Structure 1
Amino acid sequence: MAADRRQQHRQQASTPARPARRAGTLAVVTPWYPCPQRPHAGSFVRTATAAVAEGFARVEVLNGEDWPSAGGEFRHDLVRTAYERLAGPVGAARVPVVPETTPEGWRLTRVPVPVRPPALYAEWARAHESALRAVLPGGRIDADVVHGHTGVYGGWVACRLARPGARVVVTEHASFLPSVLRQAPSRELYREVVERADAFLCVSPWLRERLAQSFPEHEGKFRVVPNAVDVASIPVRPEPVRELRRWLFVGNLVPAKGVPLLLTAFAAAVADNPRLELTLVGPGNAEAVRRRAAELGVGHQVVVRGPVEPGEVFGIMHDHDLLVHPSTFETFGMTVVEAVATGLPVLVTRCGGPEQTLAGLEGVAGRLVDLADDPGPLLDGYRRLAAAVDRLDPARARAAIERRYGLAAIGARLSNCYTGVAGGSDRRDGGGAGGSARSGGGAGGPARRGGGGGSGTGTGAVVFGGPVAGSAAVDGLPALPYHPEQPPAAEDGAVLLLALGGTRLRAVVEDARFLAERGVPVVVAAARREVAEAAAEDPRIWVLRLPSGDGPLGAWRLWRLARGGLPALLRHGPRPRIAELVVCDAPATAFAWHLARSAPALPLRWCVERAGYAGRTRPPGPPEAGHGSRSDVPEPVR
């Protein structure tokens, strides 16, 4: 015990102190951030923010989420126009983008960003700028320090919308950086970000070298500041590993992560030791992985679990003996670092980030192997590691990870960047805050387009009252009173989730189930069969199948249905009172615009605001159904 206390004291003494809280504000702009539907997305952004949050009086996170349109440029223009007319801050828009408070006490604003695939990265970056400008009061980010994550998304928005005098810091994480730089317009946009940023950080030396080669005139600006890892919160496995029998893979189930190579290497290892097991955890085509395992004759020894909650990952690591990470490219390798912190041995390819994050730890934390098209190096590395597993030192490896990437260490380095210590431009003229003339979009933000109208008489199904005195109106649509503490209850009516695309299937279904579990009647109006069928698996959810919008008459059928308002939408299937409508994806935006015109008092939202439903658990039956007289559209699934 005394030895343990001495070791703990030595580690604390060598760990940099957290920055003291100061009067100031930090805004973090990111295309990724954890949410209930994607709990792992952007977790490294949240951890980096936690590393510096104590140094600021207020922290704000601005998360722009890509909402892909469908059907070509014309339909995307319709979606974008509808979004511009509907979205805005609370009290000044028909469909407000509502900030929430995170468990850490930060202000988090999730902003849907309609984007058109396929398109250049530069076009998507400008879409993020336009969307965030539209929902920010005054069209600016009001913070002393603005930290943008990824140069082409968060970095561009930070540079364009930071207020004059703010310090702009950009961190590059993206493994798709080479694709960005191969596109001439995107490369020029990226150059503007580099020129404007006061400090430009890279999470690995590989990224720094790539940027220095691409922008040699700014080579001195690029610095390496790795991702932060909350090592103190990662539980250590109760017993050290003695045998590398239970293999584990955590990540996307795609070829770029080395999954096919992993299966082939595992099958070869099973020939030596039939007792081996392999578990794969992560999103992707699980059935394809199972089929390939069966073809290799190891189907009964391979388990594919799919994605799990973040809190489950470390327990799964404790239940296995070896993390195998055969990725073809990583900028950092967060999964590997977290595995080392738990005490799990690792077998990792030299794919960019891991050879830096595990520098000096080979033979201590695990083993690195060369990239190859065949399983030979991976299989040989496993055999060598299995023979030397007793010589690994997981406690020493964890201590090294803490010193390198712990919150205190990375927090101190980021704090220096925020204050201008140790390099980086220290300009305060705000010259890039408004962007250059060729970038488009002045400080006033995009002009609201066209037209009038929208003074419909309502549907008779709306529960909430009309607009309050003094509320703003956008294109004839009133900004309704917003009461986040009073979301619809079962007696108020149903929440209607409108989804015309398929890209956010998981979010739609999970939000519908969330509401049903809390006693709120819920109707999913879906245009894609896969969304409708997934929602219909829960008997508490009513589902309406809308026209798909495909084919020569598809768009016209949707337009006709939208013009009919809620009576047309609910002509078949359930006919509950609608207390609130949630726009769930980009294709639904233009449809929602027509519904808003026909029902001026109907509250519309961009997401299910879950905080307001805390404590609700009473599960009701589905909404009471009515029966329509027409059989064309919409078609009820149930």
Structure 2
Amino acid sequence: MKALVTHPGLQHSHQMAQALYEQGMLRQYWSGVPVRGPGEPVPWWLPPGYRARVREVGIPQALRRHPMWFPGVLKLGLNRRMGLNRFMGLSHSAYAHRIFHLFDAWVARRVEVLRPEVVVAYENSAMRTFEAARRIGARCVLDAPSVHRVAAAAMLDMPPDWYQAEIDARKDREVELADLVITCSEFAAQSYADAGVPASKLRPILLGASPPGNVRRRRTRAGTRFLFAGGLTTRKAVDLLQQAFSMVRARVPEAELAIAGGGADPMLAATLASLASTPGVTLLGALPQSLLFQEIADADCLVLPSRFDSFGMVVVEALACGTPALVSERVGAKEILQEFPRAGWIVQVSAQSLYDRMLELATVPASLDDARQYASLAGEKYTWARYRRAAAATIATLC
């Protein structure tokens, strides 16, 4: 059985493709963001933003294809000063989804020529691809990186978008066509089950992390250093973090908070301004992965208070570095902390709950030192190698 893996960007699709290649099951891997093999240079002509996103895989060039036109036009369209989107009158979300849909159509036209036996595609770029796959009798696997759209709308209270109805219809059709829906956690899988997706279709597989071998903790504690890493958005609850840390800092003046991330939500302008002016806060901006891992290793505790996250990749990255994590009850990676309860803490989605736990950790930092060994144990289990074994075994059930 041979499978096609296709994604307009990257996310963790290269790990799925690598998993299938390791088992002799990969027909092709098509992704908008390129990957490189061991010893291959990063293409010199790639813009810096793309160079930082290139990942190394063991997949031969002959099995890879990277139509960079799609992410390139996406980036140009969303540019604040000269973006194409200004002339189209679409929201950023609507424009981005248009590009995903174009990629979906591009893949669909080629599926019937390639004729794989299985197609693995990703949310909001899979509908046409799956329809073409069905015409040739191929099995369809939806690798869903988020919670079900109904749960997302309920948890985030998203404002209506004229384009949202089309996006929702496409997502529903993708789920309908899929033989399997792979989610990043039981938390995410339950959101699909709650929306009426049959349990027989659902396969949760927790993601993994493998930090660079040269990452070592360098920092000795002066004050407790919390780290947030991710998009500066409402979904990630940056507003709740700002409220909680400002109260912690008032009680523990030596406490610190580092913020690593970009993609600031315009609706959070006041929150981000407050963060920038809060004593003890350091804004690191968006970091390449190698530098982010070092910041994680140097932190005393990762904080991810999301209103919802189907997984929360940075959590397992923190555990892989031996850094304990504090997450909300709506972060899928909480399942790792439930398995390794001494590796971190789970709180409700509220500024008060976050403040209470952060204050305790800042006041009694010995608990953070105790948690590091258990974080390392969790990180040793939840690796990319483990994910790849589980992913390949899941796809093999379609035989």
TM-score calculated relative to the size of structure 2: 0.73
Equivalent residue runs for 1:56-67 within 5 Å: 56=24, 58=26, 60-63=28-31
Which residue of 100, 109, 113 maps to 2:66?
Answer: 109
Of 110, 118, 140 in structure 2, the residue corresponding to residue 145 of structure 1 is: 118
- Conserved 8 A contact 2:316-2:379: yes
State the alpha-carbon separation in 1 of the partners of residues 147 and 189 from structure 2: 12
TM-superposed CA distance for 1:260, in Å, is 2.2
Q: Which residue of 2 aligns with 1:10?
A: none
CA RMSD of aligned residues (A): 3.6
Of the three residues 114, 137, 159, the one matched with 2:130 is: 159
Cα deviation 1:205-234 (Å, max 9, x = unaligned): 232222223235x3321121222x243756
What residue is the counterpart of 1:254 in the other structure? 233
Closer, same or farther in 2 for the Cα pair 1:120/1:189, shift >3 Å?
Answer: farther
Which residue is 2:210 aligned to?
231
Are 1:244 and 1:322, in contact at CA under 8 Å, matched by a contact in 2? no
Alpha-carbon separation, structure 2, partners of 1:27 and 1:241: 47
How far off its partner does 1:202 sit?
A: 1.4
Whole-Å Cα distance in 2 between the matches of residues 201 and 108 of structure 1? 23
Q: Secondary structure at the match of 1:358?
A: helix
User: Residue 122 of structure 1 contacts residue 189 of structure 1 at CA under 8 Å; is this kept in 2?
Assistant: no
SS in 2 for 1:318: helix
Q: Specify every segment of 5 or more residues in structure 1 that has no aligned partner in the other structure, as ranges.
A: 1-23, 34-41, 66-99, 427-638
User: Percent identity at matched positions?
Assistant: 24
Letter in 1 for 2:390: R
The one-letter amino acid of 1:159's match is F
Letter in 2 for 1:206: F
Structure 1 residue 165 displacement after superposition: 4.2
Q: Is the 8 A contact 2:189 2:202 kept in 1?
A: yes
The 1:222–1:148 alpha-carbon spacing in structure 2 relative to 1, beyond 3 Å, is same
Alpha carbons of structure 1 residues 312 and 190: separation in structure 2 relative to 1, 3 Å: same
Task: Give the aligned partner of residue 391 of structure 2.
Answer: 414
| Offset at residue 370 of structure 1 (A) | 0.9
Shift of 1:264: 2.2
Letter in 2 for 1:169: V
Q: Of the candidates 54, 75, 79, which is equivalent to residue 22 of structure 2? A: 54
- CA deviations 1:473-510 (Å, max 9, x no partner) are xxxxxxxxxxxxxxxxxxxxxxxxxxxxxxxxxxxxxx
* Aligned pairs (5 A) from 1:69-468: 104=58, 105-106=60-61, 107-113=64-70, 117=90, 126-133=101-108, 136=110, 140-150=113-123, 152-153=124-125, 155-162=126-133, 164-175=136-147, 177-178=149-150, 186-216=167-197, 218-227=198-207, 229-231=208-210, 233=212, 237-238=216-217, 245-285=224-264, 291-293=273-275, 296=278, 298=279, 301-362=280-341, 364-372=342-350, 375-386=351-362, 387=364, 388-389=366-367, 392-403=370-381, 405-420=382-397
Cα deviation, residue 126, structure 1: 4.7
The structure with more helix, counted as a fraction of residues: 2
**45, 52, 55: which is aligned to 2:13?**
45
Answer with 1 or 2: which has the greater Rg. Answer: 1
Contact between 2:311 and 2:333, CA under 8 Å: does it hold in 1?
yes
Task: Give the whole-Å Cα distance in 2 for the aligned partners of 1:101 and 1:316.
Answer: 20
| Structure 2: distance between partners of 1:122 and 1:307 | 23
Q: What is the alpha-carbon distance in structure 2 between the residues aligned to residue 406 and residue 196 of structure 1?
A: 30
Deviation at 1:342, TM superposition (A): 0.3
Which ranges of structure 2 fall in alignment gaps of 5 or more residues? Answer: 34-53, 75-87, 155-159
1:255, 1:275 → 2: CA distance? 27
Number of residue pairs matched by the alignment: 343
Letter in 2 for 1:326: P
CA change 1:307–1:186 in 2 (3 A) is closer
Rate the CA distance shift 1:313–1:243 in 2: closer, same or farther, 3 A: same
| Alpha-carbon spacing, 1:389–1:48, altered in 2? closer, same or farther (3 Å) | farther
Does residue 32 (structure 1) correspond to residue 4 (structure 2)? The answer is: no
Q: Secondary structure at the match of 1:257?
A: coil
Residues of 2 paired with 1:226 and 1:122: CA distance? Answer: 26
Structure 2: how far apart are the matches of 1:322 and 1:245? 8
